[in-house]
A = this chain, B = another copy of it.
């Protein structure tokens, strides 16, 4: 059941992206196709959720609370692409590789989630801002630039959403993105300190490469 859901996530994001980015050049049929893909993938999620609710034998309210993440993804289409991260996890497991170290995994997982989240937010904000009066986000490039500056908490303010929908999406991006990015930088710091500690414990003078501490390379460990 995992693969179809991931495919539905990709389809959802791709359909929405084509719909938003090519809206001026898309024929009537294309728009309908995109909307169809988006609604179809939504239907897949609803069906999966309903089947699992039935199979679990739990009361609906309790199921909602123990499967909070699934419910949120069901209601907020913007967060749906985060499910695509599971596809990466699955692909990596199938190839029978030793899994990445803990910190590397947290970084990859959070980093991918943040990227997808930022892309989805940039799409939605561009969708709602592009035609608004007084908008500073007028191209998709502006929107991506805004999403990056927001996720890094730099916030230059040269471009910023002005519509209510755009601002609500922006607040959501801040809330989710910053927590995930905190996990990325936190893991990176821990990994860096751990790498230096390990180098300290090795006998000095014996390593050849000059880039400082060595990482946990997936093939080597």
**A residues lining the B interface (CB < 8 Å):** 1-2, 5-6, 62, 65-70, 83, 85-86, 89-90, 93, 99, 102-103, 105-106, 109-110, 141, 145, 148-150, 152-158, 160, 162, 164, 167, 170-171, 174-175, 178-179, 182-190, 192-193, 196-197, 200, 204-205, 208-212, 215, 217-220
Beyond the given A65-B219, A109-B196, please list 4 additional residue pairs across the A-B interface where CB-CB is below 8 A. A5-B210, A68-B217, A155-B155, A158-B162
B106 pairs with A193, CB closer than 8 A: yes
* C-alpha spacing A149/B185, complex, angstroms: 19
With known contacts A89-B210, A183-B189, A178–B152 Cβ distance under 8 A: yes
The 8 Å CB contact of A185, one of B83, B179, B196, is: B179
The 8 Å CB contact of A192, one of B90, B110, B193, B204, is: B110
The 8 Å CB contact of A106, one of B89, B175, B192, is: B192
> Copy number of this protein in the oligomer?
4
B85 pairs with A212, CB closer than 8 A: yes
Q: A103 — which chain B residues lie within 8 A by C-beta? A: 193
* C-alpha spacing A93/B155, complex, angstroms: 40
With known contacts A102-B193, A211-B70, A152–B174 Cβ distance under 8 A: yes
A196 pairs with B102, CB closer than 8 A: yes
A215 pairs with B68, CB closer than 8 A: yes
Chain A interface main SS type: helix
Shortest distance between the CB of A195 and any CB in chain B (Å): 9
Shortest distance between the CB of A48 and any CB in chain B (Å): 10
B182 pairs with A188, CB closer than 8 A: yes
The 8 Å CB contact of A212, one of B65, B86, B155, B157, is: B86
B174 pairs with A90, CB closer than 8 A: no
B106 pairs with A220, CB closer than 8 A: no
Q: A162 — which chain B residues lie within 8 A by C-beta? A: 158
Q: A110 — which chain B residues lie within 8 A by C-beta? A: 192
With known contacts A89-B210, A193-B106, A186–B178 Cβ distance under 8 A: no
